[in-house]
Structure 1
Amino acid sequence: ERPDTPNDFFCQTQDMRIVTCTWSQGDTHLYGRHSPKYILFEEFSQKMVPCTVSCSEQCSCSWDIGQQRICNVTVTVENPLGKKTATDVFDVTHRIYPAAPFQLWEECTDTKITLHWKHRNKGIELFCQTEVLQPDGKVELHNGSDTHLDYASITLGGLQPYTGYTVRVRCGVANHFWRWSEWSEARTIRTTESTPSGKLDIWREITPVQGGRNVTLFWKQAPSFRANGRNISYELTWEKLEDGSKPESISFSSVYNSTRISIDNYSYRISIMAKNNVNCSLPSVLIIPTATGTEELKEEQVNGTDDGIFISWEPRHIYDSYIIDWCNYPMLQPCDLQWKRFGPNTSSALINSAAFVLGVRYNFHIYGSVANRASLLEKKTGYLKELPPLHDPTVEKVELTSNAVTLSWDYHLTNESGFVRGYHVYVSPVQEDCSLKGSKKHVLPDGAVLCKYAIENPEEKRYTVKYLLPNTKYKLVVKAYTSAGETPIVSFRYIDTPFNSNTLYLLVLLVIVPSLVAAICRWKMKWVKECCCPVIPSPNKSKALSFEEFKMGSEKVLKISDCIPDMLAVDSKAEAQKL
């Protein structure tokens, strides 16, 4: 197909003698001897441009224009199907594309860098731009430079001491700017050392011991602190305030951030400074007050969120700052003590840490500080998120009756995966579902129905389940629960209720005693009959006369006078004879 018009055709120079023209070629899909041919012609001189065209990504052609300053160059692209042209008219002094600066060197102080470089465009006034890559990745551009006979320079101020900066330079023509040169080679430069700026942040943990106190001191670099040098070390000093005794001091390398000292019960002034090869920073001061009996503060429960644990406190106008400390790993020793400082107008904070995990209790202490003296104000405890309890309560005592069971258990409320809100007692007969009076129904995943009783006071660790059946096997379990619920039931404890003793006594009275009496009566029937209903042939043979009151003399005689009849009946002689 016909050739395309050469696109982006323009010409430029680096030294006002050698001109280079470039353009983009189109695709004609013709190759070999039919591929396009390029011809450059300069109109003002009416001469063919004596250059060889080379094409890769772009086509270009360079030649020496001598003293000519105004040019009108036409490029013609031609193939067997046709031809197209493009023209560029230009003043050479307006098309200068400088060579890249080279041979950079610098002079440094703690806050300034003076950068020097050389350039090849002699006699051409250049305007240069310096790129500064900051340590945080930000890029700053500084325009302008001072030009000397053989080199140019720029001074970069407002820099940080002992900090590395990466710089590079490019230039353009000052009077008729055409385009920037290529960047020079990048150079990394470090400013010189200076006195550390800002202060260290110091904190403490006080442990009473016999005759005094152990003070564990911690320090870290505050956001405003800068070491400004290498070979950092720390200088720790402490002195008693009461008697003006000689201060004690100790030095640590930069790898340390804590130490422990032993002091008595008097007040002390503790200070720490950072030191480099130049000088020391300003001291950070901490006052340890005289040891006194402190009132035990009650811990308040706080709630976690997705972003951290929210802490609030009652502000007091007498303090100039507040400090919150906590342990990142409360179950370990050392626990990685952390602390944060807050201004006097702050009364709440969201505490977060990459070390916080679900189901771990974190304890927070809130201090008020004035004149470097800190006082404990409040205690808080909470979880990033509560989980169900890890362990079931241990049932230590079971008291059984025929229709009730009393359970007593032990449970340590600390070091749990959540705040224990109470307990659930589950009971059921082994062979059937449960439906005891006063209980709630709880259905297990396998469909079994348990009776559920709730104890909402976590300090209450005793409960009586009533309305059980005598002589019955029951299964039971005690579960603790938090705001996240409780773990599934996996095992039970089994009990057997005894017989009801009252029923046994009633059985004895109503069945066994009458049966025993009947058996004895049957066994002694003849004796009973003779005793109670004898055949009496003569009064003297009656066993009723064996009692003392019926004895008369040496014989057992029933007197007629002792028998007072209620009625008299006269029998016939025949009946009397029968008797």
Structure 2
Amino acid sequence: FLVSGGLVQSCGHIIPESPVLALGSNFTALCILNESCLDFGNIYASQIIWKIKNRVVPKEQYREINRTVSSVTFNDTSSLATPLTCNILADGQIEQNIYGITVTVGLPPEKPKNLSCIVHQMSKLTYPMTCTWDPGRHTFLDTHFRLKNRWPQETFPDCIPKDVNNSCTTTDVQFFVNLEVWVEAANALGKAESDPLVFDPIEIVKPLSPHNLSVTSGILPTVLKLSWENRISAAVMKLKFNIRYRIFDDTNWMQVPPEDTASPRTSFSVQGLRPYTKYVFSIRCMKEDGVGYWSDWSEERTGVTTEDKPSKGPSIWRIIDACRTSAFWTVRLMWKALEPYEANGVILQYEVTVRAKSSLSSPPEKYNVNTTNLTVKLPNGTYEVTVTAHNKAGASPPSVLLIPAVNSKASVKNLKTLPKDGKLWVRWTAPNNYIIKYVIEWCLVSNSSDCIIEWQNEPGTVQGTYLKGDIKPFKCYLITVYPLYADGQGNGQSVKAYLQQDRPSKGPTIQTKKVGKAEAVLTWNHLTVDEQNGFIRSYTIFYKTIDGNET
């Protein structure tokens, strides 16, 4: 700098001033010295030193054009940084800055791609349109985007994004007239435009979901009626609908066939539902011709179908007192509570009838109970027992069990058990005769508690199943399989089994019964079943002499 008359004057300047350059291009800058400095300071272009951010540029990139002008050339602007300064060695040794510029390096905008638009209904009369696009690569420069739109004969103000570079929302659109939209990107290095879109905004509407959904039950136990309000005028758009529903405690949705709700409506009756079941419903809508977007799903609403009579009778079985006399039996009748989808309502009571087969003309004994078991004392004979379940809507079909005086029919063969996948499986070979069903009994064998019978039915077509109960490892179970025929039942075949075995909890207590010179007789008691934890296969005896040698 030159001080003259109290004013500070620059001894030179750089051109171009603060350029914006394309990344990867070449660039030349000129440092031009003022003539006044040449005379005053005895400085020339040959003394100029170029620097990038205080780093000296190699002299191979310099060129002395004349005594007042020096140039520097960069073949690739990727290496440029800011500032770029022109400096000089005053008096041959003192370096002084002449001038500096800010260099900005970046890229021109790419053509915006993947332009798409959607009209979100916000209220009955509010339809803003949001367009999104791919802005392309990062330019490293201030790049401005504008969403431009026009009718064939009229251009509208540009939509300028706020705080983003890939979307913009216009607050007012008109339906039933074609609109052309496109995106313009611009920065200091150039401009680019997307391909235009032409559409009627009515074709890209995402309507508000139906609201005020209500669910009501009617006379039929398999039907629920849905009613709702649509939030878009039929004059603007006719709608079609999707209705989904699920059982309240289930996560899997079912859907009404779309063709059943493909026309404008404000109500629909969903059929084929389970009686006395709580359902959850939700609904959505879109333009009737399928052009545009589905609304969000509406808020969920619940409804309960009315009761229907039970669809089947309870599964029934019996336990006959092992101490029965030749004259009388004590029979404990048992049946299983129906599953909710079978009960179709609240079971109020069970009706049990016991009829002697030897005296069909005699009226049956009838019992009304609200438990799932009944103990009766019967004369020795053959009986037909029926059980029906009753709810508010009616009675189930009867379940029938034949109790014969003797089990005279063929029994199953080759009864075996197999632990598999954490379950205890039972397999057998069926008799040659036609089987209606099988009854599988089991109970926990324990020296500390009674054998409490559990049971299940299986179809007559199977020859194996697993025990559907809380089967515990290391416990012994007595399993019995009965085949049931149309006119009687076969003898039960039994087997003991473990789900999982473990070593015994303790060893047996040994006593010496007789000791001779070369022999000893040892005795011990068997372990209790609770101590065995599995089947005892063998005993191993260890003994040793007085001097400690073990055998």
TM over 0.5: yes
Aligned to 2:19: none
Aligned to 1:457: none
1:487-536 per-residue CA deviation (whole Å, 9 max, x = no partner) reads xxxxxxxxxxxxxxxxxxxxxxxxxxxxxxxxxxxxxxxxxxxxxxxxxx
Distance 2:543 2:414 in 1: 35
Distance 1:293 1:319 in 2: 14
Letter in 1 for 2:252: K
Residue segments in structure 2 that go unaligned for 5+ positions in a row? 1-105
Q: Which residue, out of 221, 240, 246, partners 1:133? A: 246
Letter in 2 for 1:216: R
Aligned to 1:250: 368
Aligned to 2:68: none
Aligned to 1:360: 475
1:385-421 per-residue CA deviation (whole Å, 9 max, x = no partner) reads 3433444344444212223222344436755333333
**Structure 2 CA distance for partners of 1:304 and 1:318, relative to 1, 3 Å:** closer
Distance 1:332 1:172 in 2: 68
**Structure 2 CA distance for partners of 1:312 and 1:394, relative to 1, 3 Å:** same
TM-score (norm 1): 0.63
Aligned to 1:431: 547
Q: Which residue, out of 289, 292, 308, partners 1:175? A: 289
Question: Which secondary structure does the structure 2 equivalent of 1:137 belong to?
Answer: coil
Instruction: For 1:11-160, list aligned pairs within 5 A.
Output: 11-13=117-119, 18=127, 20-24=129-133, 26=135, 36=144, 38-42=146-150, 44-49=152-157, 53-54=161-162, 59-66=167-174, 69-80=177-188, 82-86=190-194, 87-108=196-217, 109-119=220-230, 120-123=232-235, 124-134=237-247, 136-141=250-255, 142-143=257-258, 144-145=260-261, 151-160=265-274
- Contact 2:175 / 2:201 at 8 angstroms: preserved in 1? no
Identical pairs, percent: 21
Aligned to 1:327: 443
Number of equivalences: 424
- Contact 1:328 / 1:355 at 8 angstroms: preserved in 2? no
Q: Which residue, out of 451, 454, 461, partners 1:338? A: 454
**1:218 is the counterpart of 2:218:** no
Distance 2:313 2:332 in 1: 19
How far apart are residue 193 of structure 1 and its match? 1.3
Aligned to 1:551: none
How far apart are residue 202 of structure 1 and its match? 1.0
Letter in 1 for 2:212: Q
- Contact 1:329 / 1:355 at 8 angstroms: preserved in 2? no
TM-score (norm 2): 0.66
Distance 2:175 2:465 in 1: 75
**Structure 2 CA distance for partners of 1:230 and 1:51, relative to 1, 3 Å:** farther
Aligned to 1:272: 387
- Contact 2:221 / 2:308 at 8 angstroms: preserved in 1? yes
Distance 1:251 1:188 in 2: 34
**Structure 2 CA distance for partners of 1:353 and 1:113, relative to 1, 3 Å:** closer
- Contact 1:41 / 1:73 at 8 angstroms: preserved in 2? yes
Distance 2:351 2:487 in 1: 18
Question: Which secondary structure does the structure 2 equivalent of 1:161 belong to?
Answer: coil
Instruction: For 1:165-564, list aligned pairs within 5 A.
Output: 165-175=279-289, 177-209=291-323, 212-221=328-337, 226-230=342-346, 232-243=348-359, 244=362, 247-252=365-370, 256-290=371-405, 302-307=416-421, 308-317=424-433, 319-328=435-444, 333=449, 335-346=451-462, 348-353=463-468, 355-371=470-486, 373-411=488-526, 416-433=532-549, 449-450=550-551
Letter in 2 for 1:121: S
Letter in 2 for 1:213: W
1:291-314 per-residue CA deviation (whole Å, 9 max, x = no partner) reads x6999x9x9994533342443245
**Structure 2 CA distance for partners of 1:182 and 1:5, relative to 1, 3 Å:** farther
How far apart are residue 210 of structure 1 and its match? 6.4
Letter in 1 for 2:493: E
Of the two, which has the highest radius of gyration? 1
Letter in 2 for 1:122: A
Question: Which secondary structure does the structure 1 equivalent of 2:392 belong to?
Answer: coil
1:119-151 per-residue CA deviation (whole Å, 9 max, x = no partner) reads 223222222222222454332333143756xx4
How far apart are residue 161 of structure 1 and its match? 1.0
The range that moved more, 277-286 or 104-113, is 104-113
What is the root-mean-square deviation in Å for CA atoms of aligned residues?
3.8
Distance 2:482 2:262 in 1: 57
Aligned to 2:89: none
How far apart are residue 272 of structure 1 and its match? 1.8
1:179-235 per-residue CA deviation (whole Å, 9 max, x = no partner) reads 212222222222221111122111121114465333233222567961111355433
How far apart are residue 168 of structure 1 and its match? 1.7
Question: Which secondary structure does the structure 2 equivalent of 1:94 belong to?
Answer: helix
Question: Which secondary structure does the structure 1 equivalent of 2:492 belong to?
Answer: strand
**Structure 2 CA distance for partners of 1:159 and 1:181, relative to 1, 3 Å:** same
**Structure 2 CA distance for partners of 1:206 and 1:412, relative to 1, 3 Å:** farther
